[in-house]
Chain A
Amino acid sequence: MTRRTLMTGTALAAGGIATMAFALPGLGFALGPIFEDTTPTVWQDVGPQDDFNEDTYVPRVINITPEIGDAGKTTIYVRAFNRRRDRVIEGQDPQPYVAISTRCAHLGCPVRYIQASQKFVCPCHGGVYGFEGEVEGGPPVRPLDRFYTRVELGRVEIGDRFSLNSDLERFAPRDPSNHLDGLWQYLYPARPTT
């Protein structure tokens, strides 16, 4: 090694270290939210048990993100578990109430429940879902997401969101557009943020 290459190498290394010293923390700062859970479990009261029945959905508004006003609210549809129509999946306890998220599983537009046809319909790209939120038509890749429910002192409470595959098996909450059937579930991993 000549003196010149040593000096060149030292200068480059010093510059590189100095750059990394601000670039890496900056990058970590920007990427940080990917790795922390920003959705803590909060049980939200949506009314007394008498408000809900087995055969029709009742709309309720819950908070998904506090402190950002209307943008943090979302509509959900709630009904009681229906013994005749709801599938019971082996190995998972049925929820006392079915709370369906209005976030379309295609790209996240808000779906609406039409009581006459007992279907959920998405205004954006024509997704159609049946009574249990299962896909009946259009581009959605999996059923509508649901929320955990429980009953406290005669009142229905809504907890975390979860996703379902087309057999209505539960998964950690995914973004819309993420497939969950078969091998697809491994291409759309559960993230640390949820």
Chain B
Amino acid sequence: MSPPLPRALRPKPRRPGDNGNGRNGPNGSTVAPPKPTVKDHALEGTASAVGWLDERTGLSPFLRGFLFRKVPKGTNWFYTLGSATLFAFLSQAVTGVFLAMYYEPDATRAYESASRITNEVFLGEFVRGMHKWGSSVMIILIFLHMARVFFFGAYKYPRELNWVIGVVLLVLTLLMGLTGYLLPFDQRSFWATVVAVNINASGPLVGPYLADFLRAGAEFGPTTIPRFYALHMLLVPGLIIALIGAHLYLVAKLGTTAPPWLKAEKKDLLTEEI
């Protein structure tokens, strides 16, 4: 059973005297139905388009369950941190796609193309700035979201799996930060990446091979930047999108938790329809 539509979205019954069914004129007389206005046509058209889609996809119960689900009493602004992280990711994805149109992942061209984005391309400074600062915003938000879930005890049964998925998303987000840091290819990026790769190399047995994988060889070489670039814009974001899907599915499926300071007096008191 999907939840009912909120009151504002329910179709209103017609009131006597104000409609066009032709039998409610003054003194019971019959009046001609008024001509449909442009607004009526627009509403009609939208409704039939939505109906066409819904008839063929059966999406509406799913969307209704997802958008109008019940949330516990006491739900507050802290519960928006997950959505905030999601929007930070979307912002990174959109600005990243457009940066990719101007960026050249080549050791001799990377720095030049990145500085061309900043100095010459129209709005380039702004889009690159959004991507650069947005990355920090996303990291901050994901940690705040994690802290919210931890301190509210929202990781407990039956939501452990969603915590695990969230931790994987955290690691992938950090990996985005690591791989993206090299791409401007200035001194700071280069040496930070050298140090980061050598930290990977410090793991016993597998570490040296992991470092070779990241560098595509024993030394920082011509394919190192393309490798980081491919990880940064294809592999890791793909995994993040897939896992965000699973994360949201579980949120919708299991619902959210009440804040820990609310104690249930009766069994079903914590459930409230909005």
Tell me, yes or no, whether A binds B. Answer: yes
Give chain B nearest CB distance to A106 CB in angstroms.
8
Given A39-B219, A65-B222, A107-B198, list of 6 further CB < 8 A pairs?
A: A65-B220, A68-B220, A110-B191, A188-B208, A191-B209, A191-B212
Would you call B198 and A177 a contact (CB within 8 A)?
yes
Stretch at the interface among B135-143, B199-207, B260-268: B199-207
Contact of B190 among A71, A178, A188 (CB under 8 A): A71
A127 at the interface (CB under 8 A from B): no
Would you call A176 and B219 a contact (CB within 8 A)?
no
Would you call A71 and B220 a contact (CB within 8 A)?
yes
Would you call B195 and A34 a contact (CB within 8 A)?
no
Would you call B208 and A178 a contact (CB within 8 A)?
yes
Would you call B195 and A108 a contact (CB within 8 A)?
yes
Docked complex Cα distance between A84 and B62 (Å): 83
B216 at the interface (CB under 8 A from A): yes
Would you call A65 and B221 a contact (CB within 8 A)?
yes
Contact of A191 among B199, B208, B220, B223 (CB under 8 A): B208
22 interchain pairs (CB within 8 A)?
A31-B213, A33-B213, A37-B218, A38-B217, A38-B221, A64-B219, A65-B222, A68-B220, A72-B221, A124-B191, A124-B195, A175-B198, A175-B201, A175-B207, A175-B208, A177-B202, A177-B207, A188-B207, A189-B205, A191-B218, A193-B217, A193-B218
Docked complex Cα distance between A47 and B216 (Å): 32
Would you call A39 and B201 a contact (CB within 8 A)?
no
For A72, the chain B residues whose CB sits under 8 A away are: 107, 219-221
Would you call A39 and B202 a contact (CB within 8 A)?
no
Would you call A178 and B202 a contact (CB within 8 A)?
yes
A174 at the interface (CB under 8 A from B): yes
For B37, the chain A residues whose CB sits under 8 A away are: none
- Given contacts A124-B195, A173-B218, A177-B201, A68 and B107 within 8 Å (CB-CB): yes
Would you call B211 and A175 a contact (CB within 8 A)?
yes
Docked complex Cα distance between A72 and B219 (Å): 9
Number of interface residues of B (CB under 8 A): 29
Give chain A nearest CB distance to B192 CB in angstroms.
10
For A31, the chain B residues whose CB sits under 8 A away are: 213
Would you call B221 and A69 a contact (CB within 8 A)?
no
Q: Which A residues lie at the B interface, using CB under 8 A?
A: 30-31, 33-34, 36-39, 64-65, 67-69, 71-72, 107-110, 124, 173-178, 187-189, 191, 193-194
Docked complex Cα distance between A107 and B195 (Å): 5
Give chain A nearest CB distance to B238 CB in angstroms.
14
Would you call A69 and B108 a contact (CB within 8 A)?
yes
Find the A residue at minimum CB distance from B209: A34
For B165, the chain A residues whose CB sits under 8 A away are: none
Give chain B nearest CB distance to A91 CB in angstroms.
25
For B204, the chain A residues whose CB sits under 8 A away are: 187-188
B194 at the interface (CB under 8 A from A): yes
- Given contacts A38-B217, A39-B218, A33 and B199 within 8 Å (CB-CB): no
Please encode chain B, from 90 to 127, with 1 for each CB lying within 8 Å of some chain A CB and 0 for all others.
00000000000000000110000000000000000000
Residue among A33, A39, A64, A178 with max Cβ neighbours from chain B (10 Å): A33
- Given contacts A189-B208, A191-B209, A39 and B217 within 8 Å (CB-CB): yes
Give chain A nearest CB distance to B42 CB in angstroms.
47
Chain B 11-69 interface residues, beta-carbon cutoff 8 Å to A: none
For B199, the chain A residues whose CB sits under 8 A away are: 107, 177
For A177, the chain B residues whose CB sits under 8 A away are: 198-199, 201-202, 207
Would you call B218 and A38 a contact (CB within 8 A)?
yes
Would you call A176 and B198 a contact (CB within 8 A)?
yes
For A110, the chain B residues whose CB sits under 8 A away are: 191
Give chain A nearest CB distance to B182 CB in angstroms.
11
Per CB-CB distance, the 9 closest pairs between chain A and chain B, nearest first, are A38-B217, A177-B202, A68-B107, A175-B201, A187-B204, A193-B218, A33-B216, A108-B198, A107-B198
